[in-house]
Amino acid sequence: MEALKTIRSAKAKKWMVIYTRARWEKKVEQVLIENHFEAYCPVKRVEKQWADRKKVVDIPLFTSYVFVRLSPVEEFKVRQVYGVINFIYYQNKPAIIRDAVLEDIRKYLDICPDMETVGLQELASGDRVRIKDGIFCDKHGEVLKVEGKNIVMVIEHLGCVLLTKVNVNNISIIN
């Protein structure tokens, strides 16, 4: 009977997304793991340059988000963890993330560890961007418009203007 309860509780656990304080993602993940929750904060490796040195650091792929697998009765315990602000909601309920989505994130990070996320809402006409890969690798240009997951951009190259369509995952915003 006890084994049946354990199986039911394992099935009742779902991946949810919590919103954390700014730059507290890894700390919150560690505290959740120490409290016997299954937590995941996807990170990417980035080389940072300081005045006196370069260092490779792990930074969260999703700013202020941590994934946690739990049952509905455990939600209150997670809310009590210092650094957790709230759950991310969808249709007035905590958002549920399918296991396959998290597996895809893990797989993509293994294949492309320098992957970064760019939200479409962060891109606007006139933004300066750099292409990260492909035939126009490291070319800079200006966003003309956003079309779904692609952008139409102008690349000023060799005294002429090239117009190209680039997937949003293949660009980085230039500050």
CATH 2.70.98.30 fits 120-173, yes or no: no
Q: Given the structure tokens 């007035």, which residue do they identify?
A: 92
- At 77, the pLDDT band (50, 70, 90 cuts) reads very high
Strand partners, 20: 84
DSSP 51: S
Q: Between 54 and 70, whose confidence is greater?
A: 70
Largest CA distance in the chain: 76
d(CA 107, CA 32) in angstroms, rounded, equals 23
Per-residue pLDDT, averaged over 54-79, amounts to 92
Contact 70, 16 (CB under 8 A): yes
Q: Between 29 and 127, whose confidence is greater?
A: 29
State pLDDT tens for residues 112-171. 776 666 555 677 888 888 888 777 788 888 888 887 777 788 876 655 566 677 878 778
Per-residue pLDDT, averaged over 42-59, amounts to 86
H/E segment holding residue 32: helix 25-34
pLDDT at 43 (0 to 100): 92
Written as one letter, the residue type at 159 is G
pLDDT at 3 (0 to 100): 54
Domain range list for the chain: 2-111, 120-173
State the Cα torsion 165-168-169-174 to the nearest 10°. 100
**Does residue 2 have a pLDDT over 70?**
no
Written as one letter, the residue type at 135 is I
Q: Given the structure tokens 């309920």, which residue do they identify?
A: 93
Contact 122, 112 (CB under 8 A): no
pLDDT at 119 (0 to 100): 59
DSSP 121: G
- What is the third-level CATH fold of 2-111? Alpha-Beta Plaits (3.30.70)
pLDDT at 25 (0 to 100): 96
For the full predicted model, state whether its pTM sits above 0.75. no
